[in-house]
């Protein structure tokens, strides 16, 4: 059974639970130089493309950005490289961005490569309040350099520290006024774990719906993790367009 909508609207606003903002300037209010920004998405799928574009317009510099990858040339996080707004990138895969490679090789960009599963768990741990965890992934490789190593049940492991950020930027399909979010298919990817690990979490969605429209069983990210919600329009660029030959 869906909850009645109109009875709750006034109560939500009075209680300060309405998390909608009208502009992207409001959505990123408080973001300044040298902060750490966590960003959802995988490739170009499920990225908060409009929030990223707003960071570019703001001209913020010295950012540490945590995301699975760094977009492509001219889109996604790649546009922040154009004006050298990113100081350090913590990611898993960076092979689709020529400008990224150029800045890395020239020493302009600091890069910390992290195995994909480890990166996801570092974010999940950060959101759960777990300071660090052990994993066998990366043991005996350059990934393990400078990290504590131990052995459990005959298996060698390394200590990985959790990741949290000043801002977490995510992209959802639908959200309600409370900030409850649902994602669409594979666009979910890193977004749920990123959402929990930010001091301020901002979500942009394709549609904002009234409270009660989304069923509790549909919710992927509960509104308790979300601070601001904005509705946007999205290009949804395809990273590698592959079609069948006719």
Residue 8 has pLDDT above 90, yes or no: no
Tens of pLDDT along 21-63? 999 999 999 999 999 999 999 999 999 999 999 999 999 999 9
C-alpha distances in Å from residue 190, one per residue of 21, 66, 235: 23, 11, 19
CA–CA distance, 91 with 113 (Å, rounded to integer): 5
Q: Judging by DSSP bridges, how do beta strands 155-161 and 149-152 pair with one another? A: antiparallel
Residue 235 pLDDT class (50, 70, 90 cuts): confident
DSSP letters spanning 4-34: PSHHHHHHHHHTT---B-SSHHHHTTT--TT
* 43, 49, 165, 224: CA torsion to nearest 10: -110
167-12-177 Cα angle (round to 5): 50
CA–CA distance, 153 with 160 (Å, rounded to integer): 19
Which CATH code fits 19-231?
3.40.1080.10
Q: What is the pTM of this model?
A: 0.90
CA–CA distance, 22 with 241 (Å, rounded to integer): 33
């Amino acid at each position: 059974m869906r909850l009645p909508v109109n009875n709750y609207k006034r109560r939500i606003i009075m209680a300060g639970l309405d998390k909608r903002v009208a502009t992207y300037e409001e959505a990123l209010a408080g973001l300044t130089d040298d902060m750490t920004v966590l960003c959802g998405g995988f490739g170009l799928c499920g990225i908060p493309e409009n929030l990223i574009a707003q960071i570019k317009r703001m001209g913020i510099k010295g950012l540490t950005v945590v995301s699975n990858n760094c977009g492509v040339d001219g889109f996604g996080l790649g546009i922040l490289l154009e004006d050298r707004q990113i100081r350090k990138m913590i990611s898993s895969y960076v092979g689709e961005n020529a400008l990224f490679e150029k800045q890395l090789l020239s020493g302009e960009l600091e890069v910390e490569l992290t195995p994909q599963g480890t990166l996801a768990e570092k974010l999940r741990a950060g959101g759960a309040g777990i300071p660090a965890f052990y994993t066998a992934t990366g043991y005996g490789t350059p990934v393990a350099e400078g990290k504590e190593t131990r052995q459990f049940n005959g298996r060698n492991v390394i200590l990985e520290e959790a990741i949290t950020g000043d801002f977490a930027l995510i992209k959802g399909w639908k959200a309600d006024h409370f900030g409850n979010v649902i994602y669409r298919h594979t666009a979910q990817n890193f977004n749920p774990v990123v959402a929990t690990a930010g001091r301020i979490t901002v979500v942009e969605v394709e549609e904002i719906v009234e409270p009660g429209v989304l069923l509790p069983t549909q919710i992927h990210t509960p509104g308790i993790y979300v601070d601001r919600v904005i509705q946007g329009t999205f290009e949804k660029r395809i990273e590698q367009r592959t079609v069948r030959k006719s």
